Structure 1
Amino acid sequence: MNRPTPRSIDEYLDQLRDALGGQDPALIQDALYDAEDHLRAEFAEHPHTPPTELLARIANSYGAPDEVAEIYRDKEVVVQRALRTPARPPAKTALASFFGVALDPRAWASMFYMLLALPTGIFYFTWAVTGLSLSLGMIVLIIGLPLTVLFLATVHAISLVEGRIIEVMLGERMPRRPVYGPRNLPLLERVKNLFTDARTWGTLFYMVLMLPLGIFYFTVLITGLSIGLALMLNPLIYHFTGLGLININEDVWMAPLWLQPFQVVFGLLLLFGMMHLARGVGRLQGALAKQLLVQTG
């Protein structure tokens, strides 16, 4: 598709965004950041060159919007292959599919993320609530506005850090670049953009939401694993230590001998069921992070 040569940076970026239509929002954010950073650097080095002439040169060196979009689409294929877990032979039976989750690295990574979600959720919640409280409480003072701006800047940095955690552990493509903020904008305009960026408030909501989610993830995972291991190992533990399934003071309760094999099987099924649950939680968490932390417009 032949497009007219862009006459401004904004027009170049609009054409690049159109050429990347339908791609992952994280990919679009990265591509737009790289392009805008390169274009503004070229304009700063050649301030006296007419914009149309300079953009024509850039289209030959850096690439026209359609060409740049094609390069990013090709690279994204490689990225998606790296994020995708190695393909396993299809399970021949439902039973093999159920127990085959133990060979899925993404299930193990999701379980670890559910454990990690509690400390990170506590940190995110504390940082968000403390920052908002201090910012609102001191907004009437001279130091209030700079403190608020600094706090919101850290929120954007946290969104990138969380994005990297999500991508590495859950396999959801997240941005590697922030949304570009032109360096030559007046200070008040840049502050205004920080406050009006929907991603700022989406990240704050995500940070607050991570505390209840982290508590829920951690509790469900630890409870499920503990019960599964207790049911599966209880007959062996009782044999060596005398501890039963339920111990109240000196009263020890054990399942009848004929029921213990079923108890062990149920515990084993519960453990594998928790791995399937963790993998599903990882997918949902990745979709939530993509919705709140990535600029889609």
Structure 2
Amino acid sequence: MNNLLTGLKNILGVGLKPGSYLNILYLLLAFPLGIFYFVYLITGFSIGLGLLYIFIGLPFLLLTMFSWRLFARFEGLQARWLLKENVEHDSPARWSEASGFWNWITSRLSSKYTWKGLVYLLLKAPLGVVSFIVTITLASVSGVLIIAPFIYKFVDYELPWGAISTMPQALSLTAFGLVLGLLSLHIFNGLAAVFRWLSRNLLNSGQRLAVAE
């Protein structure tokens, strides 16, 4: 009995949890950020690789690498603030501690955090697009159904079984919208859990890769 009550509480109480709405904010931000990361990285790699033959490309590639490390750190902070996932970023040696420029560079190149962060940023674009479409679609449909009693006289609600023209019919749409809204919140939380898992596994600092001295 207690398990049943707990299950019902988890299902019906999702709308009262602040974390559900933080998850929605995260999912909405994932789309523009993911597109920005993808365009920035592809542009940086294209310019860097295209200009390698005149040695100007290397600075572009290094700048791109340092940029994506900063982006990965920002994503880790987002995961902390919005997803409540404890992400620890990498802290390689500072220039003053690295005994020279080359060691300073290799400390970053040899960090798993650098390359896992790159994978995360590249995954952010397609996942962000999917999350944005799902979030906007479900939230819009749920919202329109919930406010049906207030706008059914001004908006044509054409359903397969007929048009909505009375208050009882509009209230039935509201009830359906509330159910869909609760289901949508669980879907949003599930999508956020995917990002939480990726953050935990790709944005947490790890052991360095072996680099020949």
Length-normalised TM-score, structure 1: 0.61
Quote how far apart the aligned CAs of 1:159 are. 1.1
Question: Aligned partners of 1:235, 1:94: CA distance in 2, in Å?
Answer: 31
Residue 296 (1) aligns with residue 206 (2) = yes
List gaps (5 residues or longer) in structure 2: 208-213
Question: Aligned partners of 2:12, 2:22: CA distance in 1, in Å?
Answer: 17
Match of 1:124 among 30, 37, 48: 37
Residue 245 (1) aligns with residue 154 (2) = no
Question: Aligned partners of 2:187, 2:103: CA distance in 1, in Å?
Answer: 46
1:141-197: CA deviation from partner (whole Å, max 9, x where unpaired): 22222221122111111111111011000000012x532225333323333343343
Question: Aligned partners of 1:138, 1:197: CA distance in 2, in Å?
Answer: 25
Question: Aligned partners of 2:192, 2:86: CA distance in 1, in Å?
Answer: 13
Question: Aligned partners of 1:91, 1:128: CA distance in 2, in Å?
Answer: 49
List gaps (5 residues or longer) in structure 1: 1-89, 248-252
Instruction: Go from structure 1 to structure 2 and tell me whether the alpha carbon gap of 1:94 and 1:200 turns closer, same or farther (over 3 Å shift).
Output: closer
1:4-57: CA deviation from partner (whole Å, max 9, x where unpaired): xxxxxxxxxxxxxxxxxxxxxxxxxxxxxxxxxxxxxxxxxxxxxxxxxxxxxx
Q: How does 1:1-297 map to 2 (within 5 A)?
A: 92=5, 94-175=7-88, 177-182=89-94, 183-239=97-153, 241=154, 243-246=155-158, 254-255=163-164, 260-297=170-207
1:244-270: CA deviation from partner (whole Å, max 9, x where unpaired): 1249xxxxx524767654432221111
Report sequence identity in percent: 28
Q: AA paired with 1:293?
A: L
Preserved contact between residue 232 and residue 268 of structure 1 (Cα < 8 Å): yes
Preserved contact between residue 121 and residue 210 of structure 1 (Cα < 8 Å): yes
Instruction: Go from structure 1 to structure 2 and tell me whether the alpha carbon gap of 1:180 and 1:224 turns closer, same or farther (over 3 Å shift).
Output: same
Question: Aligned partners of 1:106, 1:114: CA distance in 2, in Å?
Answer: 12
Aligned length: 200
1:40-77: CA deviation from partner (whole Å, max 9, x where unpaired): xxxxxxxxxxxxxxxxxxxxxxxxxxxxxxxxxxxxxx
Quote how far apart the aligned CAs of 1:235 are. 4.0
1:59-97: CA deviation from partner (whole Å, max 9, x where unpaired): xxxxxxxxxxxxxxxxxxxxxxxxxxxxxxx99365443
Quote how far apart the aligned CAs of 1:282 are. 1.9
Secondary structure of the corresponding residue to residue 54 of structure 2: coil
Q: AA paired with 2:100?
A: P
Preserved contact between residue 148 and residue 171 of structure 2 (Cα < 8 Å): no
Secondary structure of the corresponding residue to residue 174 of structure 1: coil
Q: AA paired with 1:195?
A: L
Question: Aligned partners of 1:289, 1:194: CA distance in 2, in Å?
Answer: 19
Length-normalised TM-score, structure 2: 0.82
Secondary structure of the corresponding residue to residue 98 of structure 1: helix
Question: Aligned partners of 1:207, 1:111: CA distance in 2, in Å?
Answer: 19
Preserved contact between residue 79 and residue 85 of structure 2 (Cα < 8 Å): yes
Query: Match for residue 86 of structure 1?
Result: none
Quote how far apart the aligned CAs of 1:294 are. 1.8
Q: AA paired with 2:156?
A: G
Q: AA paired with 2:188?
A: A
Q: AA paired with 2:65?
A: L
Q: Which has the higher contact order (CA 8 A, sep 6+)?
A: 2
Instruction: Go from structure 1 to structure 2 and tell me whether the alpha carbon gap of 1:286 and 1:160 turns closer, same or farther (over 3 Å shift).
Output: same
Larger Rg: 1
